[in-house]
C-alpha cells in the first residue's frame, strides 16, 4: 500500500514533512488527530497538495524528539485503537445477540424480565 | 520510544443488528477516527463485482456496454473477498485475471421464446465455479420460491434487460475483487453515516412561563418530532433527541417567541451514532470489522515503509531532488 518519504534536514530531526503516496484524508486526518494529542508535538498538520495526485503530506514539528519516532508512536497508538474498537465491537455484537435471545426466551415462557435493551 | 501513549479507548454499544443493517454507538473517540472508519467502509473494504464481460450474442434492445455496466452494478456475495487476491497482484495468473484465486466466472444464456416479455434478472447469472460459490445477492433465497411471476418483487432478482420474442442474450462475465475507490460498484455500503449525539437541555423555569398553547406551538415548530407534551403534567418532554437535524429551527422559534435560551442543544463531540446499510454483498457487521482490519493494514504499511529506504527509489528523480542530494 502506502510508501513514504521523509523530507527534513539532518541537523534538525524535530521537524519533518512525511509524504505518503496512495493515502488520503482517511489515514492522514486520524493521524493528525492522534499526533495533536501527543504533548511532544508542537505542530502537526496535513495537506493534499493536489486533488488528482494520490499523495498526502503530514508536517510534524516536535518539542525535541525526532519527528520520525513520534510518528511511529502515533501509528502504533492508532493500531491499538483499531484493535480495541474491533474487540469492543465484537463483544457488543455478541452481547446484543445474547440479550436478544434471552428476551425471546422469556417472552415465550411468559416470564416477565426487565428489558435488557 | 517512551511508553506514554495518547490513544483513547472507545466503547461500542449495538442498538440494532440485521444482516444488512447495523446501528451502534461509538463513544469516547474523535470525529477523525469515526470518519476514517466511515471512509474505509465506503471506499476501501473489498467486495466482488463483475468486471469483464464477453458478449457472445446480444440481440436485446440494450447495447453491449450498457449491459456490461448493469452487470457490474449487481452486488455479489463477497464473504470471500478479504481472502481473494486483486487480479493485478495475483501470482497464479499473469494479471489476465482468469484464475480461481482472483476471479469468478459467470455465464448467462437466455432466449425469449414466448410472446410474453421475458425479464432477464440476476438470478439468470450462473456461477461456473462450484467450489467457492459466489452468487448474486438473493440467489440462494430464490429457491424458497417457485415460479417467478408470483414471487414477491424483492425475490425476483435484479432486472438486467427485458427480451421480446426471438431476442437472445448470451455472455460470459468475470467477477473480480475490487474496492469502492476504483469504482463505486465495489462499495459494500449502500449508506453509512454517523452523527454526533445531541444533548438537549430544556430550561424548565423558562418553559413554565409558556402557556399550553405556546408550548404546543413551539413543539410543533420542530420539523422532526423531537418533543412532545406530557398529557398529564402538561410539561414539554424530549421524546427523540436523535431526531434533531441540527437545523436550529426550535432555537429560532424560541427566539421569535421572545424566550431565548428556552432550550440549549449541545452535540457531544466524542460520541457517534453510526448507521450502516449494506448492499447485501457483505453483512453490515462484517463490513465494519473488515474496515478496522484494513485501517490497521494501512497504518502498518506506513510504519513498514518508514523502515525501508528502498521506497525512496519509487520517487526516482523527484525523490533525489527533494532529498536535496543527501
* Residues A17, A59 contacting (CB under 8 angstroms): yes
- Give B277's strand partners: B21, B191
B289 with A86: Cβ contact below 8 A: yes
**For residue B326, pLDDT beyond 80:** no
| Predicted complex ipTM | 0.71
The pLDDT, as a whole number, for residue B149 is: 59
What does the block give as the cell for B321?
Answer: 531532488
Identity of the residue in B6, B26, B323 whose CB atom sits nearest the CB atom of A77? B6
**Residue B241: pLDDT over 90:** no
- What's chain A's Rg over C-alpha atoms? 22
Task: Please say whether the structural domain B204-261 has been given the CATH code 1.20.120.
Answer: no
Across the interface, whether the CB atoms of B39 and A26 are under 8 A apart is answered yes
Pairwise CB contact (< 8 Å): A79 & B311: no
Cross-chain CB nearest to B296 (options A7, A79, A90): A79
Nearest to A75 among B36, B302, B314 (CB): B302
The predicted-structure confidence for B118-127, as pLDDT tens digits, reads as follows: 999 999 999 8
Closest residue in B to A116 (Cα) is B15
Residues in chain A closer than 8 A to B8 (CB atoms): 81
Residue A79 and residue B292: Cβ atoms within 8 Å? no
Match 415462557 to its residue by C-alpha cell: A109
Reading the block at residue B257, the C-alpha cell is: 417567541
CATH for B48-185? 2.170.120.12
| Closest chain B residue to A33, measured at CA | B32
| Residue B324: pLDDT band with limits 50, 70, 90 | very low
pLDDT category of residue B100 using cuts at 50, 70 and 90: confident
**Mutate which: B298, B304, B312, B315, vs A, most A CBs within 10 A:** B298
Min CA distance, A71 vs chain B (Å)?
9
Distance from CA of A56 to the nearest CA of B (A): 12
The whole-angstrom separation of Cα B225 and Cα B222 is: 6
3-class DSSP state for residue B230?
A: coil
| Dist CA B270 CA B91 (whole Å) | 44
Chain B from 294 to 323: CB within 8 A of any A CB: 295-303, 305-306, 311-312, 314-315, 319, 322-323
Does A26 contact B301 at a Cβ distance shorter than 8 Å?
A: no
Assigned CATH for A3-108: 3.30.1360.10
Distances (CA, A) of B72 to A45, A65, B305, B324: 39, 50, 34, 47
Q: Is the CB of residue B12 less than 8 Å from the CB of residue B288? A: no
Nearest to B145 by CA among B123, B178, B126: B123
Has residue B173 got a pLDDT over 50?
yes
Query: How far is the CA of B58 from the CAs of B119, B121, B168, B171, in angstroms?
Result: 14, 15, 6, 8
Residue B163 CA to chain centroid, in angstroms? 32
pLDDT per residue as tens digits for the range B202-224 = 898 898 898 889 999 999 998 88
CB B145 within 8 A of CB B154: no
Residues B27, A102: contact at Cβ < 8 Å? no
Taking CB atoms and an 8 Å cutoff, what residues of chain A touch B9?
Answer: 81, 84
Q: What is the pLDDT of chain B when averaged over all its residues?
A: 86
Segments making up each domain of chain B, as ranges: 48-185, 204-261
Hey, is the C-beta of B285 within 8 angstroms of any chain A C-beta?
Answer: yes
Domains B48-185 and B204-261 alike in fold: no
How close does chain A come to B89, measured CA to CA in Å? 12
How near does any CA of chain A get to the CA of B39, in Å? 6
d(CA B299, CA B52): 32
Handedness of CA B154, B157, B158, B161 (dihedral sign): negative
Q: How confident is the model at residue B150 (pLDDT cuts 50, 70, 90)?
A: low
Q: What's residue B307's pLDDT?
A: 74
A17-26, B39-48, B131-140, B192-201: segment of lowest average pLDDT: B131-140
Which of B:116-155 have CB within 8 Å of A? none
Put simply, the answer to whether A81 touches B300 (Cβ < 8 Å) is no
CB < 8 Å to B17, chain A: 93, 96-97
Contact B51, B186 (CB under 8 A): no
pLDDT above 90 as % of chain B: 50
- The residue count of chain B comes to 326
**Phi and psi, residue B201, nearest 5°:** -115, 115
Amino acid at each position: 500500500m502506502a510508501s513514504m518519504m521523509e523530507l527534513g534536514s539532518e541537523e534538525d530531526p524535530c521537524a519533518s514533512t512525511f509524504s505518503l503516496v496512495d493515502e488520503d484524508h482517511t489515514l492522514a486526518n486520524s493521524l493528525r488527530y492522534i499526533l495533536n494529542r501527543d504533548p511532544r508535538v508542537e505542530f502537526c498538520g496535513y495537506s493534499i497538495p493536489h486533488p488528482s495526485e494520490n499523495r498526502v503530506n503530514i508536517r510534524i514539528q516536535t518539542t525535541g524528539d525526532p519527528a520520525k519516532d513520534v510518528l511511529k508512536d502515533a501509528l502504533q497508538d492508532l493500531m491499538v485503537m483499531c484493535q480495541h474498537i474491533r474487540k469492543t465491537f465484537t463483544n457488543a455484537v455478541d452481547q446484543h445477540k445474547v440479550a436478544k435471545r434471552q428476551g425471546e426466551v422469556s417472552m415465550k415462557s411468559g416470564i416477565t424480565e426487565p428489558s435488557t435493551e | 520510544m517512551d511508553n506514554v501513549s495518547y490513544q483513547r479507548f472507545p466503547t461500542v454499544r449495538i442498538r440494532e443488528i440485521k444482516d444488512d443493517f447495523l446501528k451502534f454507538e461509538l463513544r469516547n473517540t474523535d470525529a477523525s477516527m469515526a470518519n476514517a472508519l466511515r471512509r474505509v467502509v465506503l471506499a476501501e473494504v473489498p467486495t466482488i463485482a463483475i468486471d469483464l464481460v464477453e458478449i457472445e450474442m446480444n440481440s436485446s434492445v440494450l447495447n453491449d456496454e450498457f449491459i456490461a455496466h448493469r452487470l457490474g452494478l449487481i452486488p455479489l456475495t463477497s464473504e470471500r473477498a478479504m481472502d481473494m487476491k486483486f487480479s493485478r497482484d495475483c501470482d497464479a495468473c499473469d494479471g489476465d485475471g482468469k484464475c480461481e484465486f482472483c476471479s469468478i466466472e459467470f455465464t448467462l444464456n437466455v432466449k425469449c421464446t414466448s410472446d410474453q416479455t421475458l425479464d432477464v434478472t440476476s438470478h439468470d447469472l450462473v456461477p461456473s465455479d462450484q467450489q467457492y460459490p459466489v452468487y448474486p445477492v438473493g440467489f440462494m433465497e430464490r429457491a424458497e420460491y417457485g415460479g417467478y411471476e408470483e414471487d414477491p418483487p424483492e425475490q425476483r432478482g435484479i432486472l438486467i434487460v427485458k427480451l421480446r420474442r426471438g431476442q437472445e442474450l448470451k455472455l460470459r462475465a468475470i467477477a473480480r475483487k475490487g474496492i469502492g475507490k476504483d469504482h463505486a460498484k465495489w462499495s459494500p455500503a449502500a449508506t453509512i453515516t454517523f452523527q454526533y449525539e445531541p444533548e438537549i437541555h430544556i430550561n424548565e423555569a423558562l418553559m413554565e412561563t409558556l402557556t399550553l398553547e405556546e408550548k404546543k406551538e413551539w413543539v410543533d415548530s420542530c420539523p422532526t418530532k423531537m418533543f412532545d407534551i406530557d398529557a398529564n403534567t402538561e410539561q414539554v418532554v424530549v421524546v427523540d433527541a436523535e431526531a434533531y437535524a441540527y437545523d436550529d429551527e426550535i432555537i429560532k422559534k424560541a427566539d421569535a417567541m421572545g424566550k431565548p435560551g428556552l432550550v440549549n442543544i449541545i452535540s457531544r463531540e466524542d460520541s457517534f451514532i453510526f448507521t450502516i446499510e449494506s448492499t447485501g454483498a457483505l453483512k453490515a457487521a462484517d463490513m465494519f470489522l473488515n474496515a478496522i482490519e484494513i485501517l490497521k493494514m494501512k497504518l502498518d504499511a506506513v510504519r513498514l515503509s518508514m523502515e525501508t529506504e528502498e521506497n525512496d527509489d519509487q520517487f526516482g528523480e523527484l525523490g533525489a531532488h527533494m532529498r536535496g542530494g543527501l
